[in-house]
Amino acid sequence: MATVLPLGNYLARNTPVHRIDARIKLLLLTVYISVLFICQTWLGLLVAGLILVSLFVVAQIPARMALRGLKPILVILLFTLLANGLTFSATAAGTTQGTADTMQSIALIGSFGIRPLGFVKGLYFALRICLLVFATTLLTYTSSVISLVEAISKLLAPLRRLRIPVDDLAMVLTIALRFIPLVASEAEKLVVAQSARGASFNQGGPVRRVKAWLPVMIPLFVSLFRRADYLAMAMESRCYVSHGRTQLTEGHINRADVVWVIFGSLLLIAVGVFL
């Protein structure tokens, strides 16, 4: 049975997307996110989505793993749809308060109603959020934590002149990224264990649901503090210092990476400007 990797884990493959230098991926991700907010039409978002889908296919990332990134933001997506589609100033169809208002909103209970055009607008914003999450997921699945931290450290290297501890920030980022899948895995195990003991997390009122999550959150925090303590002792015993550290394998930007950043940036900028 194939193991489902938690979100944020590196999925080792030998594909053109995996071989791109992590610095190039971060730059392209920045351009892609900017283009998502520049696009003002459905066609622009659809083209940006097709580009992302093609990269997932080239990177050999299964669809079920790509869709796992949407699970934590389902509430945000639902809120985006409802916030744009519901209104408290709807006009009843039988009133004479402006024909435009009656066509743009449908009253359900009093002044509460729905706006069909608002749902379309909310769907547009939700699609933008989904593409943003998918792009970040593609970066984490095709780049190891070490390569990402090394890339961020090199990109922030000019800040050393301002006496900013770039190496310490890179190490903190490494630990944070490494703990994300660990926390997710630990929380999933605790939820399964409590469910096997008869716990219910989706029934009852808000107070009852909060009480049901207490047996999960307390051991989870205890486990995190214990891991942090072990990590601190391990770093001290190895005489860890932030400056002067080297990497076993250092990334190098080659001609293929230059082609990727030039062609990718021009394509994304064209999508944002013309679509």
Q: What is the pLDDT of residue 245?
A: 65
pLDDT digits 0-9 by tens, 50-67: 999 999 999 999 888 888
Contact, 166 vs 156, CB < 8 A?
yes
Q: What is the pLDDT of residue 6?
A: 46
| CA dihedral (60, 64, 68, 73) positive or negative | positive
Domain boundaries defined on the chain: 1-144+255-275, 166-241
Q: Work out the pLDDT band at 91, boundaries 50, 70, 90.
A: low
- Mean pLDDT estimate for the chain: 80
pLDDT digits 0-9 by tens, 93-116: 444 444 444 447 777 776 777 888
Q: What is the pLDDT of residue 163?
A: 81
**Facing residues of 113 across strands?**
87, 107
Q: Does position 243 have pLDDT exceeding 90, yes or no?
A: no
Name residues whose C-beta falls within 8 Å of residue 55's C-beta, 6 or more positions apart in sequence: 17, 138
Contact, 23 vs 155, CB < 8 A?
yes
pLDDT digits 0-9 by tens, 150-209: 888 888 888 888 888 887 787 777 777 677 767 777 887 888 888 888 777 777 777 777
Q: What is the pLDDT of residue 222?
A: 87
Q: Which of 137, 219, 123 is nearest to 181 (CA)?
A: 137
Q: Work out the pLDDT band at 5, boundaries 50, 70, 90.
A: very low
Q: Quick one: tokens of 38?
A: 């520049």
Q: In angstroms, what is the C-alpha Rg of the chain? A: 24
